[in-house]
Structures are given as structure tokens and as C-alpha cells.
């Protein structure tokens, strides 16, 4: 009963988040003053941290499962073992090498994309309605960096650890628990539109697979935060620099 009550609490947090995000994002898109935009970034960072990190840590304390942050919960072992049997770690490059190679590839790809877009005079397309989130100056970039790091930490705690842990107790199987948590992860990004929901759902599945395969929530947090940093810091900064009018 305790886990069911905590699960209902988590679903209430998600409902509150989705309900408020749509209205707040619509209002944010109408803002033109950078001070107002920075205030919204600050509010989102605080609210996201309290809603996802705060809820996760409180629930883990109640369940006496705080150690699950550092060690893969036993409930996830069967699915983790299955993934490792399909993709043995011994047949893959080192995790640090893989992470570094992927990061370098993403940054290089974005850089080439920005240069190509400038040469062809075409506008960048994004997966989902996230263009308004892009920082317009250095001050905003600092806040989007914090927003990205907070999302990487808080959302992974909530959607890759807490929700599956609670859902396993109700659904009695790891696979549907992670599937349900991944779908909810996509739906909480409804403010980005249908394409954004689909894109984040796919990414959520990839993050879940990375978490189970590596057994490390920290690596998954780093991957999530890194991806967001590329989208909300690296790419906008390169775009501003390369599209700056010549003196």
C-alpha cells in the first residue's frame, strides 16, 4: 500500500507539471525582454528540481532505498542481465571512450550543421517546439546550462529510478514498468508538441537502456545533461557566433 500511495503521489506531481508547463511555455514564447526570460528559466530550474529531485529523494527516504541512487536496484537485475546478454560489455569499447566519442560526434555534427545552414541560408529545424527555449544572449545561456544540468539529474532520478521502482511493485514486471515510465517521460514534454513527445519518448527509451546496460544512474545523468547542453548551449552559441554580422 505504501508503494501504491507513493506512485499516486508521483502521478499527481506529473499531472501538476504537465498542466502548468503548457500554460507557462505559451506565456514564455510571448516574452521579448531578456530579464523576463531569465526569470522564467530560474523558476523552471527551481520547480523542476523540487518536483523531480525532491519527490524522488523524499520517496526513497520513506522506502529506505536511498542507496538505489548509487547502485542498480535488485528489481532491475533481470532486464539489465538480458540487455547485457544481447550487448555484452566485453564486446563494446570502454564506457568513457564511448561517451567521449559520442559527445565529440554530436558536437562536430552540430557544428557542421550550423556552418552548412549558414552557407545555404536555411533555418535550423528542431525535433519539437523547443526553438523558443534557445538562449538569445550570454546571460540566458548561463541559465539554459543550469536548466540542462538540472534536467539531466532530476529527470533521470524520477523517470529512470523512482517511477520504474514504484511501477514494478504494481505491474510485477520490469519491462512494462520501464515502458510506462518512458511513455510518461514523453508525455511530460507535451508542451513541445506531438513531435517533441515522440522524440523525448524515444530518447527516454535510450536513456533507460543506457542505465540498465551500464548499471550507473550517474552515467545516464551525464548523457542526458550532455545532450541538453548541446541543444541549449553549444548549438545556440555556435549559431550566434557564426551568424554574427561581419564588422
Q: What would the pLDDT profile of 66-117 be if each residue is shown by its tens digit?
A: 999 999 999 999 999 999 888 775 555 555 555 554 455 445 544 544 454 4
Q: What's the pLDDT score for residue 93?
A: 52
Q: What's the pLDDT score for residue 164?
A: 97
Q: What would the pLDDT profile of 170-229 be if each residue is shown by its tens digit?
A: 888 999 999 999 999 999 999 998 998 999 999 999 999 999 999 999 999 999 999 999
Residue 177 C-beta-side C-alpha neighbours within 13 Å: 22
pTM score of the predicted model: 0.85
Give dist(CA 199, CA 189) in Å, integer.
10
Q: What would the pLDDT profile of 104-141 be if each residue is shown by its tens digit?
A: 544 554 454 445 445 545 455 566 788 889 999 999 99
Give dist(CA 39, CA 206) in Å, integer.
32
Amino acid at each position: 500500500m505504501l508503494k501504491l500511495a507513493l506512485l499516486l503521489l508521483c502521478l499527481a506531481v506529473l499531472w501538476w507539471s504537465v498542466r502548468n508547463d503548457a500554460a507557462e511555455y505559451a506565456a514564455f514564447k510571448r516574452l521579448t525582454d531578456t530579464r523576463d526570460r531569465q526569470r522564467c528559466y530560474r523558476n523552471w530550474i527551481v520547480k523542476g528540481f523540487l518536483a523531480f529531485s525532491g519527490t524522488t529523494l523524499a520517496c526513497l527516504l520513506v522506502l529506505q532505498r536511498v542507496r538505489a541512487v548509487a547502485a542498480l536496484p535488485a528489481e532491475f537485475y533481470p532486464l539489465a542481465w538480458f540487455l547485457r546478454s544481447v550487448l555484452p560489455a566485453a564486446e563494446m569499447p570502454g564506457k568513457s571512450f564511448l561517451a567521449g566519442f559520442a559527445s565529440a560526434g554530436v558536437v562536430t555534427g552540430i557544428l557542421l550543421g550550423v556552418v552548412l545552414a549558414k552557407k545555404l541560408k536555411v533555418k535550423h529545424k528542431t525535433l519539437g517546439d523547443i526553438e523558443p527555449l534557445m538562449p538569445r544572449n550570454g546571460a540566458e545561456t548561463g541559465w539554459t546550462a543550469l536548466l540542462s544540468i538540472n534536467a539531466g539529474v532530476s529527470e533521470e532520478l524520477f523517470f529512470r529510478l523512482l517511477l520504474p521502482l514504484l511501477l514494478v511493485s504494481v505491474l510485477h514486471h520490469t519491462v512494462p514498468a520501464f515502458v510506462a515510465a518512458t511513455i510518461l517521460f514523453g508525455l511530460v514534454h507535451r508542451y513541445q508538441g506531438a513531435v517533441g513527445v515522440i522524440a523525448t519518448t524515444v530518447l527516454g527509451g535510450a536513456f533507460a537502456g543506457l542505465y540498465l546496460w551500464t548499471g550507473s544512474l550517474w552515467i545516464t545523468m551525464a548523457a542526458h545533461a550532455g545532450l541538453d547542453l548541446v541543444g541549449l548551449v553549444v548549438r545556440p552559441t555556435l549559431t550566434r557566433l557564426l551568424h554574427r554580422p561581419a564588422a
